[in-house]
Structure 1
Amino acid sequence: MDSVAQLFLAGNTVIGPTVRGNKNDRFQINVINQLDDDTMLKSTSIHWHGLLQNDGTNWSDGGAFVNQCPVAPGNSFLYDFTATNQAGTFWYHSHLSTQYCDGLRGAIVIYDPNDPYADLYDVDDASQIGTTPKAETLTFPAPYATLINGLGRFNGGNATELAVITVTKGKRYRMRLINMACDPNYTFSIDQHTMTIIEVDVVSTIRSSKMLIKSRFLLDRGILSSSTLIRILETIGFRANPSIGTQGFAGGINSAILRYAQADATVEPDTPLETATNPLVEADLVPLENPGAPGQPQVGGVDVAINLAVTFVSRTVCCLMAQHLFLPRFPSSSKSSLALNLLTTFLPAGSVYNLPLNSTVELSLPAGAVGGPHPIHLHGHTFDVVRSAGSSTYNYVNPPRRDVVSIGNTGDNVTIRFTTDNAGPWFLHCHIDWHLEAGFASSLLKALNNGLLLSILLINGINYAQSMMLSPRAITELHMQGFF
């Protein structure tokens, strides 16, 4: 990783190199930190978004101050994990402050040799969607341009090159969409084409067909005619319309080109924007394998039920953030219990939840906080969305299964369920990175060693401390007990 002003690079590219592998492969990725600009954050960490780390590799999840100390400049960190029973579209990004907004991100594609949808497509393509934010003061930044595969235009700017995806008429294409943006949600469309969603957040779905993208979608697309637009927002050609910032498609903004082989490459398509006839409804996404939510089919029918209400205490500070503290020693078992008690006693309510192992959990996420809709991401798990945004009904039989969910707008009460079958500390946070930086995060602590969570982790013989957002009183108490 190298840095220039306001830019972090992995592999010396604005969008880092794509990592590829197969289901059940072991990945060993050595991150070497060469950041040296004193005007920027020089430490870093990398999160492997969507990979569950379910073989005891919680330390490799990359959450700075939750799973590891950030990698200091001039040092390296070897991430070592296995994609156990996982295949699909993932991505990686910095999980320290807002570094990934400045470029430290890339795609991961893990192939399944026994892909259940292999008969649906002839070509497997990858398309990445990202934005470049423009910093503003005293409020959360908004993007001024949408980049598709690293190319795009901004309102009032020059007619620069748009990303082009070339296809052959009659072939079926698998398109992998990743929203690597720090903030906007996007709706995505391809003019004059229909699409079938076959994977969402690495979960294969029963085929279903405007899409809200804040995570990862995989589509099988039917090819109908000549060059057209891809739109990102409410789109045509390739169109991607953001929820904030400059919207629309005038002058080719928020767009890319789907071009047929033999089509005139000198002509930019101008297909009309149409209204989606069969827009995506999240509640209609049904997992292909093992559908059904854990627990009893009633509200609160779980071992642990949590209502996680979120508010902003100012325009720039969320209610769930305080200070980070590193504890340099690995505690004895007697001190581990104390550390856990201190975590839950002295931290602000909602910062840490200590959850028993192998239990069912229900999280209610009422909307209404400013800056929404907020996309909530849980590390280390997929979850069943038993109540979706825009709906007042509960589905326990075959709800959508995700690792990111939009909690919607005022009046919504999105509800998710999961099983605590993956021990360790796990981040739960808003994936609008400015909101995470402001404190929109919590840690779910899964029990280890017969119910005792070791809040300080020993990794490869090196002492790493889990981040703790503690009051001065808690710091004093830990010091008196000999932790540091």
Structure 2
Amino acid sequence: MRNLFLITFFISLISLVSAETHTWYFKTGWVDANPDGQFDRKMIGFNDTWPLPTLRVKKGDRVNLYLINGFDDRNTSLHFHGMFQPGSSQMDGPEMITQCPIPPGETFLYNFTVGNQVGTYWYHSHTSGQYGDGMRGVFIIEDDDFPYEYDEEVVLTLGEHYHVYSDELQPAFLSRFNPTGAEPIPEALLFNETYNATWKVEPNKTYLLRIVNIGRFVSQYLWIEDHDFEIVEVDGIYVEKNTTDLLYITVAQRYSVLVHTKNSTDKNYAFMNRVDPDMLDVPGNLRENSTNTMEYDAGNAPVEENILEGDKNEQYFDDFYLKPLSKEKLLDDADYTITVDVQMDNLGDGVNYAFFNNLTFTPPRVPTLLTALSAGEHATNELVYGSNTNSFVLQKDDVVDIVLNNLDPGKHPFHLHGHVFQLIERHEAIDDDQDPVGYNSTDHAEWPEYPMIRDTVYVRPQSYIVMRFKADNPGVWFFHCHIEWHLDQGLAIQLIEDPMGIQNNETQQLTENHKQICEKGGIPWEGNAAGNSDNYLDLKSENLQHKRLPTGFTARGIIALVFSCVAGVLGLMAIAFYGMNDIADVEERVARDLDVDLDENSDEFVNEEISSSSIGNSSTNKH
């Protein structure tokens, strides 16, 4: 036993000695760009450069990232997607959840130690609209003991691109004039932040391809003509090898795959990415296929577009069947089950919102983590975190199930901060002409012995998923749809995990820099969701969602109402236009329509059947 202790001690000591500290200073700002080669616009870069750099660390390393808000008209923030942030929940990034937003001209220090994680991650702004405008990059935690052989590593990002800025797209999206909540359609798909890219390869090599969907909206299909992918990692979790010729990657998901090149260099091959067309509500200008080149020899003929035929796009590998290389078994039965129903609907302002259990996430006046730190014994009471925040308090080390019933006819990728989870059940899609199918605890599929583990999974239309994890990471963790439009609509809940453990951990206490950022932004760093620090159970003045529509109003009804109003306005405009213009021969036209004669020598009408006096008499009669 003593020898085991010594071995563990020396391994820990070696890790501490070998750990590095990475210090980065990044200033946000707008950078001239043309990602798809079709339209000049500015993207959000760091230090006057875009795309953003790929950051590399190793487990146990220290990160000091100084984010300088170079904007003069907006706040900002930064989230390290997929990283657990043990003991450093305040460095997780979502504004008004774990931190105050960073005001213009201010600097926030993201200061944390990389936990026991390896693999492919990414970082992005968690301030609405900013990562869609370019504030996103890849974050790699390197592993000296990578379990598979390869010759060279390559990073590949997927995404979509809008020519219009988020400042214009978002208010048009969250508008009563968009009552169905149709998402804005992008103009192009991006491949390593460009369009029609070229990947130069060498023959007879094995490449480790780290693939990250850094988009804000659409899932993408990915394939290489006459080549296969061997999946070896998803979302930072090593898996048993699985071979496929077609990947399906939702926003925020990551895949590491091995690609083996051919011995011959006599041909180049199409490397295709394609949008999932089922996610597009309305036709747009999006080029649905993007043809990139896997180039063996620049002298070869250019590649031709390689399109999926028939229902080939439905034959992608289902990540549900991935098995973790660690052989981690299904966790014990849940101690606590959170059941949430997903639905899109309109509120009294006519806007289409997204709901968990009839609540659309409405941000608190004090960031939730700051409430947990300041609420004392009340921190275990869900009430202090707000009535419109969908907050759930978790007990330390509980096994937790999230049962998510999707009542919506769309697909949704859901991401959990601070954890990975086991996906233990995912039901097939249900057609929108049928009723949604919800989870039934007494009648469900058999759960796998070694469930797939990751931090972002998708639910199919009108069906459900069941996720399981252990609450062993005290902090405040966001759970939300990673389609940014849906997060803007309010599709989120928050988990307050072991609040007393948060309070009692010295590394969780607010930094002085964090307090200053809150003060600069005029946001309290103590108090409940309403900003009340005198009485944590008094939620007067908390932020609330809009009131419900009167009974009977639906999205279709709103559409009808909107178009009726538009038609009415156009009709009035037409009347006004023609009413204010002279009409030639107006007397003759009226006389003809009324079947009367017009005396050429007078301006008076003469009617053979009804005299003017009889009209006058009839108008004074009482009936």
**What is the TM-score with the length of structure 2 in the denominator?**
0.65
| Distance in 2 (alpha carbons) for counterparts of 1:204 and 1:374 | 24
How far the C-alpha of 1:302 sits from its partner, in A, is: 1.0
The superposition leaves residues 110-168 of structure 1 with CA deviations (integer Å, 9 ceiling, x where unpaired) of 21011111x2x21111111121135354342121210101212xxxxxxxxx2110001
Which deviations, in whole Å up to 9, do the C-alpha atoms of 1:19-66 show, x marking residues without a partner? 012232222111111012x3xxx1111000011112x01111111111
Farther-moved stretch of structure 1 (64-73 vs 76-85): 76-85
Q: RMSD of the TM alignment (CA)?
A: 3.5
Asked if the contact 1:241–1:248 (Cα under 8 Å) also holds between the matched residues in 2, the reply is no
Q: Contact conserved, 1:229 with 1:255, CA < 8 A, in 2?
A: yes
Partners of 2:128 and 2:99 lie apart in 1 by: 14
2:329 corresponding residue in structure 1? 292
Aligned to 1:375: 413
Does residue 172 in structure 1 map to residue 212 in structure 2? no
Report if the CA contact (8 A) 2:238-2:325 is conserved.
yes
Partner SS state of residue 283, structure 1: helix
Question: Separation in 2 of the partners of 1:107 and 1:150?
Answer: 12
Residue in structure 1 matched with residue 402 of structure 2 by the alignment: 363
| Structural mapping, 1:3-42, within 5 Å | 3=30, 7-36=43-72, 38=73, 42=74
**CA offsets, 1:210-231, max 9 Å, x none?**
3221210111012236311111
- The total of aligned residue pairs comes to 450
Deviation string, structure 1 residues 325-382 (Cα, Å, up to 9, x no partner): 037997899942335536358513x710001011100111112325x21100000000
Separation (CA, whole Å) in 2 of partners of 1:151 and 1:329 = 38
**Native 8 Å contact 1:386 1:400 kept in 2:** yes
Q: Determine the C-alpha separation between the residues in 2 that align with 1:340 and 1:69.
A: 22
Which of 11, 36, 47 matches 2:79?
47
Is contact 1:185-1:243 (8 Å) kept?
A: no
Which residue does the alignment assign to 2:110?
79
- What fraction of aligned residue pairs are identical, expressed as a percent? 27
Distance 2:352 2:160 in 1: 21
Runs of 5+ in structure 2 lacking a partner? 1-27, 32-40, 430-443, 519-523, 543-623
Counterparts of 1:178-193 in structure 2, within 5 Å, are: 178-193=212-227
Aligned-partner Cα distance in 2 for 1:243–1:468 = 44
1:100 aligned partner? 131
**What is the alpha-carbon distance in structure 2 between the residues aligned to residue 470 and residue 329 of structure 1?**
10
Q: Which runs of 5 or more structure 1 residues have no equivalent in the other structure?
A: 153-161, 234-239, 296-300
Give the letter aligned to residue 176 of structure 1: R
Question: 2 CA distance for matches of 1:20 and 1:346?
Answer: 38
1:24-423 maps to which residues of 2 (within 5 A)? Answer: 24-36=60-72, 38=73, 42-54=74-86, 56-117=87-148, 119=149, 121-133=150-162, 134=164, 135=169, 137=173, 138=178, 139=181, 140-152=183-195, 162-209=196-243, 210-214=246-250, 215-224=253-262, 226-233=267-274, 243-245=278-280, 253-260=289-296, 262-264=297-299, 267-271=302-306, 273=308, 275=312, 279-295=316-332, 301-314=333-346, 316-319=352-355, 320-326=360-366, 335-338=375-378, 340-341=380-381, 343=383, 346-348=386-388, 351-370=390-409, 372-390=410-428, 393-410=445-462, 412-423=463-474
Q: CA deviation at 1:244?
A: 3.6
Q: Does the aligned pair in 2 maintain the 1:191–1:273 contact within 8 Å?
A: no
Matched, 1:429 2:456: no
Instruction: Give a deviation string over 1:177-220, Cα, whole Å, max 9, x none.
Output: 11011010111111111111000011000001232212101110
Q: Would the alpha carbon gap of residues 67 and 376 (structure 1) be closer, same or farther in structure 2, given more than 3 Å must change?
A: same
Q: For residues 78 and 20 of structure 1, what CA distance do their matches in structure 2 show?
A: 18
The structure-2 alpha-carbon separation of the partners of 1:184 and 1:331, relative to structure 1 and needing over 3 Å to count, comes to closer
Name the CA shift for 1:356/1:328 in 2 (closer, same or farther; >3 Å). closer
TM-score (norm: length of structure 1): 0.83
Letter in 1 for 2:393: N
Q: How does 1:449-468 map to 2 (within 5 A)?
A: 449=500, 458-461=509-512, 462-463=514-515
Mapped to 2, the partners of 1:333 and 1:366 lie a distance apart of: 32
| SS of aligned partner of 2:233 | strand
